[in-house]
């Protein structure tokens, strides 16, 4: 029984209470939300991004009929521009054959759907003054066509962009994009790009529709971006262009303007960041979602495992100026310098920026606040209506960083970003956290939190906790679960709210909770009491478990089958066990040599696979084969 005191009023809950935190972790942007299908489109991958990378990562040579040619990545003065350091030089066969390269995309390959259109573009230049025939093909891994080829003519010694559309006549999740030339001589290529025509809201340089729709399904009140640790870290140090290195971190000016003129960067999470999804695209996405944009700028004090404050007044001045320029980019008139760039990019109207966050998880509070006030003073002097959001130190299990909070209070910070990740039990037993927070301020923005799992019980613990956030809506003004997105094929951080592979995306149980709360936010809290014990029995769907394994053994052929014998999912573990999670503490497990190996045997063990689309109505059976011996 729930008794509601309709006569009394609790705090109001803002419409923008629940939002999203979007950071390019787990390939959330490159390989995920950013719809570009070509991986390493400008041949900039390097060991500075990832020890396994080369400038030819995700590219392979293609020779028609054994034609003799050569493909080499060069970084000389003939480059496309100073920010786009490398390009590909092809030596073409003169004997009539074709030679070139094919891109293998992300994970399984380039996803191609029968009947769908794909927009291709490339920058090219030839060595001679004549034209060079350029053929673009979508093929399967064996070279069989998935679309009619696109025939282009690249001409002249100067770089020029060539484009066209490919229409798929069959489907594949392992497509290749091949670009070949013929007729001898040399042909240079850069920014080889392929986008599905069908992006979210049909935007150019746009977002993958299925993932963006899932995010839109959350009806977010705000979009915090671009990090996270990406704001504290990163490095241009591998590149030596005249205006680089701009030292470290995700800096907005590197990410705007024509995509071929944007920088690339080492991504803290171990891959290359193309900056194709840059500040303009983030602002546009927030606008398309009807959400408030909340950019986070670097504060020159590192976090995310490093303790360093940059003591360089000129650099600090430049970052402060960059932040003022960012506000002009978002809100300035089309005839201002940075507002003009926004207009040139296609958005003459202002984006209506109201909040800017300075710094993420700064773990040197004194040093951070010295810099924070410089940012805030400069912003308030020029833009008194902008709210400058602070932060309360590194992500924690929920520990309150007293010194950071003291300084936030001392400096009259309006809104403070807090982060914590902990067990479901912690969330269940800390529902009262905000009951005792100071009503005199600062207000809280719970910018990152999660109960360390994608199981139903995690989602339930988060839902329970969120009732505590709402009860304290006079102090807690905004909240966002983190991380938002994860590629099933390369996740650096789990759990995550929305998962995807090359063609599909699916929300976790945690996603459903976020959606439930965000789409049904009340106007105000009404005091209530509950009595009686709810019936906790009943089926729980959305996860498939394999349990009570209490002997030391190895298992192959783990399969989920429907009652009718249809294989819903089989995982031979060859690609890793990232879809399965070991959820009991009783033993430990690993995947070795394509098999599930249980290495300790202290009682019951359970493996769970998170729910997948289309499973809920099945009567399922999970089987595994025990290895001989
Ligand atoms: O959400 C993942 C990371 O957690 C963020 O990058 C960082 O802010 C936090 O430590």
Please name the residue whose Cα sits nearest to atom 8 of ligand 1: 228
Which residue's CA is the nearest one to ligand 1's atom 2? 483
Residue 469 in any domain: the answer is yes
Give percent above pLDDT 70 in the chain: 83
* Lookup: tokens for 208: 């993958």
Q: How many domains, the chain? A: 3
Is 188 in the same domain as 224?
no
The predicted structure's pLDDT at residue 239 = 45
Answer yes or no: do 129 and 84 share one domain: yes
- Three-state SS for 92? coil
Cα of 401 vs centre of ligand 1, distance in Å, is 17
pLDDT bucket at 241, cuts 50 / 70 / 90: very low
**Residue 444 belongs to a domain:** yes
- Tell the residue nearest (CA) to atom 6 of ligand 1: 228
- To the nearest 10 degrees (0 to 180), the angle between helices 402-410 and 365-382 is 30
Above 0.85 for ipTM, yes or no? Answer: yes
581: annotated active-site residue: no
pLDDT of residue 395: 86
Q: Is the CB of 419 under 6 A from ligand 1?
A: yes
Residue that finishes a domain, picked among 196, 228, 257? 196
**220 backbone dihedrals φ, ψ, rounded to 5°:** -70, 145
Taking only the tens place, the pLDDT of each residue in 440-474 is 999 999 999 999 899 888 999 999 999 999 999 99
Number of Cβ within a 10 Å radius of residue 307: 11
Closest alpha carbon to 254 in 233, 232, 229, 236: 236
284 and 395 in a single domain? The answer is yes
Q: Does residue 609 line the site of ligand 1, with CB under 6 A?
A: no
Q: What is the CATH number of the domain that holds 319?
A: 3.20.20.80
Q: How far is CA 216 from CA 91, 234, 512, 520, in A?
A: 46, 29, 13, 14
Count Cβ atoms below 10 Å from residue 44 Cβ, excluding itself: 26
Structure tokens of 304?
């995310």
Catalytic residue among 23, 361, 367, 448: 361
In this structure, what CATH number is given to the domain that contains residue 166?
A: 2.60.120.260
Q: Clarify whether residues 77 and 207 are in a common domain.
A: no
Distance set, CA 35 to CA 130, 175, 237, 331 (Å): 34, 15, 27, 27
173 shares its domain with 238:
no
Whether residue 205 is predicted with pLDDT greater than 90 in this model: the reply is yes
Q: Out of 477-481, 539-543, 597-601, pick the least confident.
A: 539-543
287 with 222, same domain: the answer is: yes
Structural domain contains residue 2: no
Instruction: Indicate whether 159 pLDDT > 50.
Output: yes
Would the CB of 452 count as within 6 Å of ligand 1?
no
* Ligand 1 atom having least distance to the Cα of 394: 10
Q: Which of 20, 21, 22, 23 to mutate to test the pocket of ligand 1 (most atoms within 8 A of CB)?
A: 23
Q: What is the pLDDT of residues 372-395, one digit of tens each?
A: 999 999 999 999 999 999 999 988
DSSP code per residue over 418-456: EEEE--HHHHHHTTTGGGGS-TTS-EEEEEEEE-S--SH
Whether 141 is in a domain gets the answer: yes
Q: Is residue 14 part of a domain?
A: no
Based on the domain organization, do 555 and 501 belong to the same domain?
no
Find out whether the peptide bond into 363 is cis, omega within 30 degrees of 0. Answer: no
Give the DSSP letter of residue 184. Answer: S
Q: For 88-129, how does the pLDDT look when each residue is reduced to its tens digit (9 = 90+)?
A: 999 999 888 999 999 999 999 999 999 999 999 999 999 877
Ligand 1: does its nearest atom lie under 6 Å from the Cβ of 27? no
265/327 same-domain check: yes
Domain that holds residue 473: 20-31+200-530
| 177 in a structural domain | yes
Among 196, 215, 234, the domain boundary falls at 196
Single residue among 496, 530, 564 that ends a domain in this structure: 530
Tell whether 68 and 147 lie within a shared domain.
yes
> 224 and 142, same structural domain?
no
Answer yes or no: is pLDDT of 499 > 80.
Answer: yes
* CA atoms of 161 and 177, how far apart (whole Å): 17
Burial of 84 from C-beta contacts in 10 A (0-12 / 13-18 / 19+): buried
Residue 53 inside a domain? The answer is no
Per-residue confidence at 259, pLDDT binned at 50, 70, 90?
Answer: very high
> Is any atom of ligand 1 closer than 6 Å to the C-beta of 418?
no
| Closest residue to atom 5 of ligand 1, CA basis | 228
Q: Are 580 and 574 in contact (CB under 8 A)?
A: no
Which structure tokens are listed for 301? 């004090």
Mark whether 276 and 370 lie in a shared domain: yes
* Beta-carbon-side half-sphere exposure of residue 516 (alpha carbons within 13 Å): 13
**Would you say residue 164 lies in a domain?**
yes
Work out which ligand 1 atom sits closest to the CA atom of 304.
10
43 burial type by CB count under 10 A (0-12 exposed, 13-18 middle, 19+ buried): buried
The finding on whether 55 has its CB within 6 A of some atom of ligand 1 is no
Residues 558 and 608 in one domain: yes
pTM: 0.85
């Amino acid at each position: 029984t729930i008794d509601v005191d309709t006569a009394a009023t609790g705090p109001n809950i803002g419409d923008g209470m629940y939002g999203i935190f979007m950071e390019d972790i787990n390939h959330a942007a490159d390989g995920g939300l950013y719809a570009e299908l070509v991986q390493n489109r400008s041949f900039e991958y390097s060991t500075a991004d990832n020890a396994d990378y080369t400038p030819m990562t995700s590219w392979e040579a293609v020779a028609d009929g054994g034609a003799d040619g050569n493909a080499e990545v060069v970084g000389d003065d003939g480059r496309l521009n100073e920010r786009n350091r490398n390009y590909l030089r092809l030596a073409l066969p003169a004997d009539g054959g074709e030679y070139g390269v094919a891109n293998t995309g992300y994970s399984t390959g380039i996803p191609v759907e029968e009947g769908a259109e794909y927009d291709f573009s490339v920058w090219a230049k030839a060595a001679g003054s004549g034209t060079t025939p350029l053929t673009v093909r979508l093929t399967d891994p064996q070279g069989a066509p998935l679309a009619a080829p696109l025939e282009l003519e690249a001409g002249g010694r100067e770089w020029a962009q060539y484009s066209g559309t490919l229409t798929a006549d069959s489907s594949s999740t392992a497509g290749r994009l091949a670009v070949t030339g013929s007729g001898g001589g040399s042909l240079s290529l850069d920014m080889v790009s392929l986008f599905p025509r069908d992006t979210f809201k049909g935007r150019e340089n746009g977002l993958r529709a299925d993932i963006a729709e899932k995010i839109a399904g959350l009806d977010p009140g705000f979009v915090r971006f671009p990090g996270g640790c990406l704001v504290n870290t990163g490095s241009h140090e591998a590149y030596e262009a005249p205006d680089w290195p701009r030292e470290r971190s995700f800096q907005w000016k590197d990410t705007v303007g024509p995509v071929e003129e944007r920088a690339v960067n080492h991504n803290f999470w171990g891959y290359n960041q193309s900056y194709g999804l840059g500040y303009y695209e983030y602002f546009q996405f927030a606008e398309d979602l009807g959400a408030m944009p909340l950019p986070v700028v670097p504060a020159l004090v590192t976090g995310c495992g490093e303790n360093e404050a940059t003591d360089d007044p000129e650099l600090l001045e430049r970052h402060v100026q960059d932040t003022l320029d960012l506000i002009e980019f978002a809100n300035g008139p089309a005839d201002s310098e940075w507002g003009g760039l926004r207009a040139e990019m296609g958005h003459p109207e202002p984006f209506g920026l109201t909040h800017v966050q300075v710094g993420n998880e700064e773990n040197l509070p004194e040093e951070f606040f010295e810099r924070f006030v410089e940012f805030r003073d400069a912003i308030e002097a020029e833009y008194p209506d902008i709210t400058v959001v602070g932060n309360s130190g590194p992500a924690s299990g929920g520990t309150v960083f007293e010194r950071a909070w003291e300084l936030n209070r001392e400096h009259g910070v309006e809104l403070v970003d807090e982060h914590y990740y902990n067990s479901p039990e912690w969330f269940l037993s800390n529902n009262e956290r905000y009951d005792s927070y100071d009503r005199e301020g600062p207000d809280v923005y719970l910018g990152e939190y999660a109960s360390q799992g994608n199981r139903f019980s995690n989602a339930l613990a988060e839902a329970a906790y969120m009732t505590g956030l709402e009860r304290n809506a006079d102090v807690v003004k905004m909240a966002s679960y983190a991380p938002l997105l994860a590629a099933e094929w390369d996740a650096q951080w789990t759990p995550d709210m929305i998962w995807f592979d090359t063609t599909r995306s699916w929300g976790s149980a945690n996603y459903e909770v976020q959606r439930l709360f965000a789409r049904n936010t009340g106007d105000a809290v009404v005091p209530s009491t509950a009595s009686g014990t709810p019936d906790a029995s009943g089926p729980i769907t959305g996860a498939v478990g394999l349990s009570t394994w209490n002997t030391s053994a190895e298992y192959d052929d783990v399969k989920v089958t429907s009652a009718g014998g249809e294989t819903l999912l089989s995982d031979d573990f060859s690609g890793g066990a990232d879809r399965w999670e070991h959820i009991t503490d009783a033993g430990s497990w690993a995947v070795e040599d394509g098999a599930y190996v249980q290495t300790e045997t202290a009682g019951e063990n359970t493996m769970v696979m998170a729910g997948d689309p289309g499973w809920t109505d099945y009567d399922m059976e999970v089987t595994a084969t025990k290895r001989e011996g």
